Amino acid sequence: MANNYPIGVFDSGVGGLTVVKELIRQLPSENIIYFGDTARVPYGIKSKETVIRFSIENILFLLKQNVKLICVACNTVSSVALPAIKNHFRVPIVGVLAPAAREAVYATQNKRIGVIGTPSTIKSRSYESQINELDSEIKVFSAATPLFVPLVEEGWVDTDVTREVAREYLGPLTNKNVDTLILGCTHYPLLREVIQGVLGKKVNLIDSAKQVAIEVKRMLACEDLLNDSAKKPRHKFYVSDNPEWFTNLAGRFLGHSVKDVSRAEVG
């Protein structure tokens, strides 16, 4: 395995680009290959067995691209599938759940943490289990916030409708006196200001995208696999359906437009 091999990233759709953005920011020399399973999105309403099957197929696709590490940029996969698939592959695999949970445990002062995510992520109680493994005294309060995803994809990140939905979803958490909130979906960082506005500035927001990028950097350094090439890094994007839709949304997540988007078959 060579240092200039790319980092592989996959998600059920476009949300994992928030992870790619952080990887580019923290690891500017790394080549990255992204796969968005846009033909089968959303994963959040699929059964555990289906999510596991899709994830294996996505990993096999990335392995064909000679990736040196795979980042699972999907909270649903990290919550319900990662424990079942991680030991089946020799390539290092990093999910978004554990790094975010560790940072939340470190950040909380009153041991009251909130988690928001898709119904599957919340139903799995994976964040709660991970947090309580680290500190059994912490109270975890979870809320499913499924409408946040389509609002982000529509570009409604700063509208009255979005703020009203946020107040409806987050109201119960404000009554729980949480001082830390995990943004348990890679779409949610785009709603950071709206969420912060509802909860108040004293609540720490934990961005899973930022934390997983830190974890990827640490793992590559430990394995002596950081790219030290002076060549300009290449960022390649694949989707399983509708490259045009993905391309139009990608700029919103990355902060710049993308051109190198190809359609790929998986499964």
Summarised one tens digit per residue, pLDDT across range 73-131 is 998 899 889 988 888 899 999 999 999 999 999 999 999 999 999 888 898 899 999 99
Residue 74 known to be catalytic: yes
- What is the predicted pLDDT for the residue at 84? 85
Taking only the tens place, the pLDDT of each residue in 143-156 is: 999 999 999 988 89
Question: 234 and 201 in one domain?
Answer: no
Question: 106 and 77 in one domain?
Answer: no
Question: 198 and 119 in one domain?
Answer: yes
- Closest by alpha carbon to 17, among 74, 82, 68? 74
CB proximity list for 217: less than 8 A, separation 6 or greater = 26, 27, 226
- What is the predicted pLDDT for the residue at 40? 92
Q: Is residue 201 part of a domain?
A: yes
Q: Is residue 250 part of a domain?
A: yes
pTM tops 0.85: yes
Q: Is residue 226 part of a domain?
A: yes
The CATH number that applies at residue 187 is: 3.40.50.1860
Q: Of residues 62, 185, 191, 213, which has the active-site annotation?
A: 185
Question: 218 and 195 in one domain?
Answer: no
Q: Is residue 39 part of a domain?
A: yes
Q: Is residue 186 part of a domain?
A: yes
Question: 216 and 90 in one domain?
Answer: yes
Q: Is residue 1 part of a domain?
A: no
Question: 84 and 117 in one domain?
Answer: no
Q: How many domains does the chain have?
A: 2
Question: 170 and 218 in one domain?
Answer: no
Question: 191 and 121 in one domain?
Answer: yes
Q: Is the pLDDT of residue 46 over 90?
A: no
Q: Is residue 203 part of a domain?
A: yes
Question: 182 and 103 in one domain?
Answer: yes
Q: Is residue 2 part of a domain?
A: no
Domain extent at residue 34: 7-95+210-263
- What is the predicted pLDDT for the residue at 22? 95
Question: 204 and 127 in one domain?
Answer: yes
Q: Of residues 19, 69, 74, 220, which has the active-site annotation?
A: 74
Query: What DSSP string runs through 150-198?
Result: HHHHTT-SSSHHHHHHHHHHHHHHHTTT-SEEEEESTTGGGGHHHHHHH
Question: 105 and 89 in one domain?
Answer: no
* Exposure string over 135-159, b if 16+ CB within 10 A, otherwise e: eeebbbbbbbbbebbebbbeebbee
Question: 256 and 124 in one domain?
Answer: no
